[in-house]
Amino acid sequence: MPRPRSEKARRAVLEAMRTALAEDSYAAVTIEGLAAEAGVSKQTIYRWWPSKAAVLGEALLEGELPGADAVVPMTDDLDTDLRAWLTAMSARQSDGATLEIARALIAVTATDAELGAQLNERLAAPVRDWVTERLAAAIAAGEVRADADADAIADQFIALASYAALLGQPLGEQRVDAIVRMVMRGIAAH
Amino acid sequence: MPRPRSEKARRAVLEAMRTALAEDSYAAVTIEGLAAEAGVSKQTIYRWWPSKAAVLGEALLEGELPGADAVVPMTDDLDTDLRAWLTAMSARQSDGATLEIARALIAVTATDAELGAQLNERLAAPVRDWVTERLAAAIAAGEVRADADADAIADQFIALASYAALLGQPLGEQRVDAIVRMVMRGIAAH
Amino acid sequence: MPRPRSEKARRAVLEAMRTALAEDSYAAVTIEGLAAEAGVSKQTIYRWWPSKAAVLGEALLEGELPGADAVVPMTDDLDTDLRAWLTAMSARQSDGATLEIARALIAVTATDAELGAQLNERLAAPVRDWVTERLAAAIAAGEVRADADADAIADQFIALASYAALLGQPLGEQRVDAIVRMVMRGIAAH
Amino acid sequence: MPRPRSEKARRAVLEAMRTALAEDSYAAVTIEGLAAEAGVSKQTIYRWWPSKAAVLGEALLEGELPGADAVVPMTDDLDTDLRAWLTAMSARQSDGATLEIARALIAVTATDAELGAQLNERLAAPVRDWVTERLAAAIAAGEVRADADADAIADQFIALASYAALLGQPLGEQRVDAIVRMVMRGIAAH
DNA sequence: ATTTAATCGAGACGGTACGTCTCGTCTTACT
DNA sequence: AGTAAGACGAGACGTACCGTCTCGATTAAAT
């Protein structure tokens, strides 16, 4: 019988978080600011989210995580695919708003390890899956040694992307080249 | 002619920052808390540092950066050395206080990009130099291809260490193995 | 629709101001001290009063102004009444707390002319009214000249009381005698 | 052999106090501000004066007290002289700087009763003397009753002037008329 | 159609920390 | 010894948000 939770308010809060991050650092975002921007009372935020970090978390999961859906279409060339993934990540981080979201993700993880680990897992999982699948195909094709460690490669790529976002310095083309070349040689069959 | 800056107060503040980080997250550290802990007035902190981040920065540069001096002694086996570096980093991050300092470094970088970039550069430079030197020897010995990119390897290692610290999950032995093996194969001569 | 202003908090602040003045000079009273004494947050004070002076003003208007209600009952002898007023004022100022409140009123007026003028007007008005009424009766009775200036007398008395409070030296009996005798002669009919 | 106190510094500080009062309220004047304005170190002020109030006190005694030297030349008409004194006081208080000095005197008295009493006594004494002398002449001339109380009159005038300065509202001509007329009648012989 | 109960906006509340200001003391080099 | 300069410990200033707490108004399902 009670009035159900307002979907409009929920969306407005998440949207306000994204808007705020596009203009300011995560640290500069305040619950009061979000409430005002969303046209919502503070209590409504506190009723549904335990912390600013939680709002960010939901906003990220709802919107696009800055990497999760960067999983690029597979071709039949592993080298091309890996290069494409790193390049796509790098390109995304050239966009101010996306970069700020990525840095917010890092900030929240540095503050709230628990939630951070959870969000990072959500981010990492599809990348790991994608690399695993891609690698299996390459192994089957005899291009890659059977003991290549897909998780190690995926985590390494995510770490590189995360560190680049942290510094605000996207990976350059040459660096991408160097990394991919090294990895490809490192896992090449024979 | 005025009274010179108190070295004692300066050291007390930096020490208070390190102490505070050993007990709490960077976000939980307050200027007022530092002042009280250091037995110093707030104004003395604000007189010499523009922000909490700056205090952390100086405390890090003064104390041990969580990686800079982790540069391990060189043997004549590159594989051993790289493995040793990653293992040493991983071990350090198992210590609560050091881990918290590393996470604080990340938090401050995510907040104050400028200072963060500067601190990270200080951290990265010796690692890059060390890898470069080590790699040159290996190339001279004909063990490694001449076009191996030392900076790419160094940054990749730093990114891995940083990401591990961010998540609070030190690299496992198997992961270190997988990474080093892949890198060694990736740059091996032949 | 929000929660209404807390009357309890308001009263506690005003009471804290009176308490503080009973123990210290107005200059020694601090907003933080009031907040602590009243068990109220600083922000609650700043939300409702623009300055320490304003709190004092409301505390005075709420409590007894150090003179306003000293208006003594009228007898049918003007000389007796005027003497009674001055004596009553003098007596009040022998009480430490009341004297300190009167001096606080002076201090705030010397600092914030606007508010001071307003408070002093509130203090003076009833005295002027009382003197005017009393004088009219005496004039009607033919005891006092028709052109006697009630406001001049009232202001003169208030000035005397204020100056005595400022110096912290209550008027002596002889001085009261001298003043009243001079005034009575100055306005006597014939 | 010790270096003697710098007369130049002393004068600069007192002058800075007067300058500051011409522009701001007494409460807004700070020791640091005086030191900067006077081109003197804070320590020099603290070495020679125990408080801001003391600096004001000396500045007042050194410069013109806002009343002390307002003692006007005597004519042979008491009414004229009393009226001239009140009018002169009123005129002085129309000057912003002088008014502010008078209010500072009040502020300091309200804060530091001891010093205030001392300063006020210095102010009152010459006025009392002047009134006493003037009254004696008038009594000798048979114009005024022998029991007229010179001190009461002097204090009453000072109180009026002080209260007018406090409120920042100089006495009007009519008020001066009314007061003087009442006093003259109150002490007239016969 | 009314009742009922959780939601919503608004914003007051007790707190904590901010970064600034001035206090009165001190330490230094200079005169 | 006196001075200009200014660092120091102390602590109040007025502001910004925190997370909690009323308020009265709204709104849907269960009477």
Q: Kindly compute the dihedral angle of the four CA atoms of residues C104, C106, C110, C113, in this order, to the nearest 10 degrees.
A: 100
CB within 8 Å: D175 and C163: no
Instruction: Say whether residue B66 is in contact with chain A using an 8 A CB cutoff.
Output: no
Label residue A65 by pLDDT band (50, 70, 90).
Answer: low
DSSP symbols for C19-41: HHHHHS-GGG--HHHHHHHHT--
Which comes out higher in pLDDT, residue C145 or D64?
A: C145
In B, minimum Cα distance to A121 occurs at B167
For residues B64-68, average pLDDT: 57
Note the pTM of the prediction, 2 decimals: 0.89
**Encoding tokens for residue B140?**
């001279």
User: Any idea which nucleotide's C1' is nearest the CA of C7?
Assistant: E12
Does D37 map to a domain? yes
Report the mean per-residue pLDDT for chain C.
91
> Closest CA to E3 C1' — which residue?
A1
Can you tell me the mean pLDDT for C135-163?
A: 95
CB spacing of D113 vs C168 below 8 angstroms: yes
pLDDT by residue (tens digit) across B95-149?
A: 888 888 999 999 999 888 888 998 999 889 999 999 999 999 999 999 999 999 9
Nearest CA in chain D to C169: D117
pLDDT for A76: 83
Distance CA C92, CA C170 (A): 9
**Which nucleotides of strand E are protein-proximal, with an atom < 7 A from a CB?**
3-31
Beta-carbon count within 10 A of A190 CB: 5
pLDDT on residue D67: 56
CA distance A147 to C118: 89
**Cβ C168–D117 below 8 Å, yes or no?**
yes
CA to C1' distance (Å), from A30 to F25: 27
Closest CA to E23 C1' — which residue? Answer: D31
Q: Is residue B175 part of a domain?
A: yes
User: Reduced to 3 DSSP states, what percent helix, strand and coil does chain A have, rounded to the nearest 5?
Assistant: 75, 0, 25
Establish if D146 belongs to a structural domain: yes
Give the per-residue pLDDT at D65.
Answer: 57
Express each pLDDT in B139-181 by its tens digit.
999 999 999 999 999 999 999 999 999 999 999 999 999 999 9
Confidence at residue A50, expressed as pLDDT on a 0 to 100 scale? 95
**Which chain A residues have a beta carbon less than 8 Å from that of B156?**
156, 159-160, 179
Q: Does A23 share its domain with A107?
A: no
| Backbone dihedral angles phi then psi of residue B175, each to the nearest 5 degrees | -65, -45
Does the pLDDT of residue D39 top 60, yes or no?
yes
Measuring from the CA of residue A1 to each C1' atom, give the nucleotide at the shortest distance.
F29
Average pLDDT, chain A: 91
D40 plus D75 within the same structural domain: no
Same domain, D45 and D88: no
Q: Distance (Å, rounded) from C-alpha C181 to C-alpha C178?
A: 5
C151 plus C81 within the same structural domain: yes
CA dist., res. C5 & res. C18, Å (int): 21
Give me the pLDDT at residue A37, please: 97
What mean pLDDT comes out for the span A66-89?
A: 81
Task: Looking at the structure, tell me whether residues A89 and A162 fall in a common domain.
Answer: yes
D:37-76 Cβ neighbours of strand E under 7 Å: 42-43, 46, 51-52
Same domain, B85 and B167: yes
Q: Is the CB of A9 under 7 A from strand E?
A: yes
Whether B and A touch, i.e. at least 3 CB pairs below 8 A, reads as yes
Please give the residue range of the domain that contains residue C84.
68-187
The more confidently predicted of residues C42 and D121 is C42
Residue A164 inside a domain? The answer is yes
Q: What is the CATH number of the domain that holds A41?
A: 1.10.10.60
Q: Within the 3-32 window of chain D, which residues sit less than 8 Å (CB to CB) from chain C?
A: 25-27
pLDDT (average), residues A13-42: 95
Q: Which of residues 8-27 of B touch strand F (CB under 7 A)?
A: 9-10
Calculate helix-pair angle for C96-111, D150-167, nearest 10 degrees.
Answer: 50
Number of domains in chain D: 2
pLDDT at B66: 59
pLDDT score of A114:
86
pLDDT class of D17 with cuts at 50, 70, 90 = very high
Backbone dihedral region for residue B22 (phi beyond 0: left; psi -120 to 50: alpha; all else: beta): alpha
- Main-chain phi, psi angles of A131, to 5 degrees: -65, -45
Assess if residue D158 is contained within a domain. Answer: yes
Which tops the pLDDT comparison, C124 or C63? C124
Put simply, whether A132 touches B (Cβ < 8 Å) is no
Q: Considering the domain boundaries, does residue D2 fall inside one?
A: no
Backbone angles phi, psi at A24, to 5 degrees: -145, 170
What's the mean pLDDT when you consider all of chain D? 90
Residue A51 has pLDDT above 70, yes or no: yes
**Residue B122: its H or E element:** helix B113-140
D73 touches strand F (CB under 7 A): no
Q: What is the mean pLDDT of chain B?
A: 91
Q: What is the mean pLDDT of residues C38-61?
A: 96
CA of C2 to C1' of E9 (A): 9
The pLDDT of residue B51 is above 80 = yes
Q: Could C178 and D27 be called an inter-chain contact, meaning their C-beta atoms sit closer than 8 Å?
A: no
Q: What is the pLDDT of residue A68?
A: 52
Q: For the domain that residue A161 is a member of, what is the CATH number?
A: 1.10.357.10
Residues D149 and D181 in one domain: yes
Mark which of C59, C78, C97 sits at the end of a domain: C59
Write out chain D residues lying below 8 Å of C24, CB-based.
none
Helices (DSSP H) in chain C: which residue ranges?
A: 7-23, 31-38, 42-48, 52-62, 78-92, 96-111, 113-140, 150-167, 173-187
Say yes or no: A57 and A75 in one domain.
Answer: no
Strand E–CB B44 distance below 7 A: no
Q: Is residue D1 part of a domain?
A: no
Question: CA C75 to CA C81: how far, in whole Å?
Answer: 6
Strands (E) across A31-84 are located at: none
- For the cut 60, the answer to whether the pLDDT of residue C68 exceeds it is no
Question: Which residue would you say has higher pLDDT here, A22 or C40?
Answer: C40
For the ranges A117-131, B18-32, B117-131, C66-80, the lowest mean pLDDT is seen at C66-80
Partner residue facing C110 (CB), from D103, D153, D184: D103
**Closest residue to E5 measured CA to C1′:** A2
* Same domain assignment for residues A150 and A80: yes
- pLDDT (0 to 100) of residue D72: 72
| C-alpha span between C51 and C13 (Å, rounded) | 13
Q: What is the dihedral of CA C169, C171, C175, C178, to 10 degrees?
A: 140
Q: Note the pLDDT tens digit of each residue in D173-187.
A: 999 999 999 999 999
Inter-chain touch B163–A168, beta carbons under 8 Å: no
Do residues A88 and A56 share a domain? no
Residue where a domain stops, chosen among A21, A42, A62: A62
Question: Could you tell me if B114 and B42 lie in one domain?
Answer: no
Going by pLDDT thresholds of 50, 70 and 90, the confidence category of residue B67 is low
The distance of Cα C169 from the centroid of its chain, to the nearest Å, equals 16
Interchain proximity C110–D187, CB inside 8 Å: no
Indicate if D104 and D26 belong to the same structural domain.
no
Position A1 in a domain = no
CA nearest neighbour of A126 among A171, A34, A61: A61
Q: Which residues pair with C144 in a beta bridge?
A: C188
Higher pLDDT, B123 or A47: A47
Of B144-153, D57-66, D108-117, give the lowest mean pLDDT range.
D57-66
Higher local confidence (pLDDT), A20 or B114 = A20
Last residue of a domain, one of A62, A79, A106: A62
pLDDT score of A175 more than 60: yes
pLDDT in tens, B23-47: 999 999 999 999 999 999 999 999 9
Contact in structure between A18 and A101 (CB atoms under 8 Å): yes
